[in-house]
Amino acid sequence: MKDVKKYFQFLPSDIIENILKDLTLTKKEVLLELYIHEKEKAKMTDYIRNMINSLAEDILDIYKIGFRVDDINDLVQKLGGSIQMKKDFSYASLEKNGDGFKIIVSSYQDEQRKRFAIAQELGHLFLHMGYKTNAEIWEKQADKVPFQEKDPEKVRQANEFAAALLMPRYIFFLTLEAASDIAESGKRTIHMQAVADFFNVSLSAAYTRAKILGLSERAYYEMS
C-alpha cells in the first residue's frame, strides 16, 4: 500500500488507517473515500484540492491516456460513456445511462470550451455520482435523468477536476518551464498562449490553472 499512501499526505493518520483497512479497494475507490470524509468541510481546502488532482491524474494513468488528453471523446468511451452533441442546448449535461453515462454538449461551443465542459461533467461523475468509485452512491442515481448540482462548492470541485484532467500538475509545470523566456535582467516571462495551445484549452483556463497552482502575479505572464 506504499504507493497509495502518497495520496494522503494532508490527512490525519487515524483517517488514513480507517481508509486503508480494506486492502481490496482500488486507488480510485480510496481516493473517493478521502473525498467522502472531507466533503462536508464545504470549502476547497488544500487536501481536497490535492485529492481531486490526484484522482484526475490516477484516472489518466489507469486508463493509459498519457500525459495529456488529446482526444476527450476517446477518454469518455474508455470510461464507459458517450457524448451527444445538441444544437438546442446551452452548455452541457450529464446523466446515468444504464451501467454507463452520457454527456450532452452544446454543438455551438468552440472545441476548447467543449473539452472543458465535458471534463467538468466527468468531475461530477466521479466526485458526486460515485461512478466506478462508490457503488452505493452510483445506484442511487436515477437512470436517464439529467444530473443537476447547484451547490457552488461542488461546482468548483468539478471545475478543479476538469483543470486537473486537462492540465495535470507535473506536465503543466514542465510546460510552463518550456514556454518561458528569461531576459538579461533576470525577469522571467511565460508565454501562456503557448501553454494553452499545448493543452488545447482557453487562455483564461491556462492562466487560472497557473494561478491556482501558486503562480499568481499577473505581471509574470505574457498573455498573448
DSSP per-residue letters across 25-73 = --HHHHHHHHHHHHGGG-S--HHHHHHHHHHHHHHHHHTT--SS-S-HH
Nearest-Å Rg of the Cα atoms of the chain is 18
With a CB cutoff of 8 Å and minimum separation 6, the contacts of 173 are: 213
Buried b (16+ CB within 10 A) or exposed e, 60-76: beeeebeebbeebeebb
**Interatomic CA distance for residues 205 and 221, integer angstroms:** 14
**Interatomic CA distance for residues 53 and 165, integer angstroms:** 8
Strands (E), 89-187: 92-97, 100-106, 180-182
| Domain annotation for the chain: domains and CATH numbers | 2-166 (1.10.10.2910), 170-222 (no CATH)
- The pTM (predicted TM-score) of the whole model is 0.76
Amino acid sitting at position 96: K
**pLDDT, position 181:** 83
**pLDDT, position 28:** 53
Residue 84's beta-bridge partner residues? Answer: 104
The answer to whether 124 and 147 are in contact (CB under 8 A) is: yes
* DSSP tally for the chain: helices H, then strands E: 11, 6
Q: Are strands 188-191 and 100-106 parallel, antiparallel or unpaired?
A: unpaired
- Cell 518561458 belongs to which residue? 180
Q: pLDDT (tens digit, 0 to 9) for every residue of the chain, 224 residues total?
A: 344 444 444 445 554 455 445 444 455 555 555 555 544 444 577 888 999 999 999 999 999 998 899 999 999 999 999 999 988 777 888 999 999 999 999 888 899 999 999 999 999 999 999 998 888 999 999 988 888 877 788 889 999 999 999 999 999 999 998 988 876 766 778 888 999 999 999 999 999 999 898 875 544 444 44
